[in-house]
Amino acid sequence: MMITRRGFAALVPGGVAATLAAPALAQADYPNRPIRMIVGFAAGGGTDLTARTMQPKLQQALGGTILIDNRPGAGGNLATEMTVRAAPDGYTLLMGTIAALAINPTIYRNLPFDPATDLTPISQSGSILNVLVVPADRPWRTVADLVAAAKARPDTITYGSSGVGGAGHLAGALLDQMAGIKTVHVPYRGGGPLMTDMVGGKIDYSFSTAPTAIPQIEAGKLRALAVPTLQRSPLMPDVPTVAETLPGYEVGNWYALVGPKGLPQPIVEKLNAAMRATLADSDVRAHLARHGVEPTPSSPDELARFIRDETAKWAPIVRASGANAD
């Protein structure tokens, strides 16, 4: 005997039928109100730029509105905790970073959450190029020049980052470790504020994201010394790698979209499809490419494995470098 939806409703109490039907209807209607995408850094940095570049096409693919909510602090931990504590209904998402999703569990001793288990992976967003830059008035032209200066003046050369545990922080800590130098880390609340002080000459160097660094390099306010990838970047082919001076040196940087734990599978699938459509769009890809971001869409399972692998990869390096949040 076939039981229709109307017949099913007649067989169970009204309240129970409504309770069973509501989640399914809500998921089918998703999104029916604005989605908040939290960015754990101040406006103007690479994470913010990537989110805002994707925003229009992602809205179109989802058929809804996305609001970018910048919540800087604690290397992305404040934004991550807000996402962890949000209702798993698809209306609070996080543009996560290597810091928030893979590094902070090692660098912060008492995190109240575990990114690997307290979030729902949706899709990787992109990998982004970082650039080792110095203010134009500094005398250094190469990585070797910078290392020599740091060796001559231990604990005086400063390097800035967009926050504790981020790729910029790790890059500086790894440079210290591999070059045998001691520099001073100065964390900011995002790449935008960091770049303001870099251009103003208040910081000696930084590994800044390409979106924030390239305009200042082109304006002659900063000088690019190197990139932290093993191979030279097609975006900046004349800029050497740090590995050309310190063999084996490499620090990657990436972003990914995640939601609270328990996000319903239909919503995850819809968001993943929208991310794939957005990152396949030629205009989005061209805009991201100009800023050193390579789109890297993935399945939720692929992202979950990637986060686990990155956490395991960086934990011993972070410990050995001495980088910490204290």
If asked whether residues 138 and 236 sit together in one domain, one would say yes
The answer as to whether 18 is a domain residue is: no
Q: What is the CATH number of the domain that holds 210?
A: 3.40.190.10
Task: Give the pair of three-digit tokens for residue 51.
Answer: 């989110």
240 shares its domain with 294 = no
Residue 178 to residues 175, 294, 326, Cα–Cα distance (Å):
5, 27, 22
Does position 7 have pLDDT exceeding 70, yes or no?
no
The three-state secondary structure class of 3 is coil
Q: How much is the average pLDDT of 321-325?
A: 72
Q: Are residues 293 and 264 in the same domain?
A: yes
Tell me what percent of the residues of the chain surpass a pLDDT of 70. Answer: 91
Residue 163 to residue 188: CA distance in whole angstroms: 5
User: Does 17 map to a domain?
Assistant: no
Task: Over range 215-235, report the average pLDDT.
Answer: 95
pLDDT score of 91 more than 80: yes
* pLDDT for residue 8 is more than 50: no
Residues 265 and 203 in one domain: no
| Per-residue confidence band for 2, with pLDDT thresholds at 50, 70 and 90 | very low
**End residue of a domain, out of 244, 274, 305:** 244
State the burial class of residue 248 (Cβ atoms within 10 Å of its Cβ: 0-12, 13-18, 19+): exposed
**Does residue 9 sit within a domain?**
no
Q: What is the pTM of this model?
A: 0.81
Last residue of a domain, one of 223, 244, 265: 244
List, in order, residues 6 or more apart from 1 with CB less than 8 Å away.
Answer: none
**Average per-residue pLDDT for the chain:** 90
- Angle, in degrees to the nearest 10, between helices 191-199 and 210-218: 20
217 and 292 co-located in one domain: no
Residue 238 falls within a domain, yes or no?
yes
Domain assignment present for residue 108? The answer is yes
Q: What is the pLDDT of residues 116-140, one digit of tens each?
A: 999 999 999 999 999 999 999 999 9
pLDDT in tens, 232-282: 998 899 999 999 999 999 998 899 999 999 999 999 999 999 999 999 999
Note down the domain range covering 198. 130-244
Token pair belonging to 49 = 């730029």
Kindly report the CATH number assigned to the domain that includes residue 57: 3.40.190.150
Domain count for the chain, please give it: 2
For the cut 70, the answer to whether the pLDDT of residue 24 exceeds it is no
162 and 239 inside one domain? yes
Residue finishing a domain among 244, 271, 286: 244
One-letter identity of residue 60: Q
Per the domain annotation, does 5 fall within a domain?
Answer: no
Q: Which residue has the higher pLDDT, 264 or 12?
A: 264
Give 175-179's long-range contacts (Cβ < 8 A, gap of 24+).
Answer: 175/147, 175/242, 175/246, 175/249, 176/321, 177/320, 177/321, 177/322, 178/246, 178/248, 178/249, 179/147, 179/150, 179/151, 179/246
Same domain, 46 and 72: yes
Is there a domain that residue 105 lies in?
yes
Q: Is 226 in the same domain as 141?
A: yes
pLDDT in tens, 186-214: 999 888 899 999 999 999 999 999 888 99
Residues 141 and 209 grouped into a single domain: yes
Kindly state whether residue 3 falls inside one of the protein's structural domains: no
From first CA to last CA, the distance across the chain in angstroms is: 66
What's the rounded mean pLDDT across residues 18-44? 78
Strand duo 158-161 + 222-226: pairing: unpaired
Q: Do 114 and 259 belong to one domain?
A: yes
Same domain, 54 and 152: no
272 lies in the same domain as 230: no
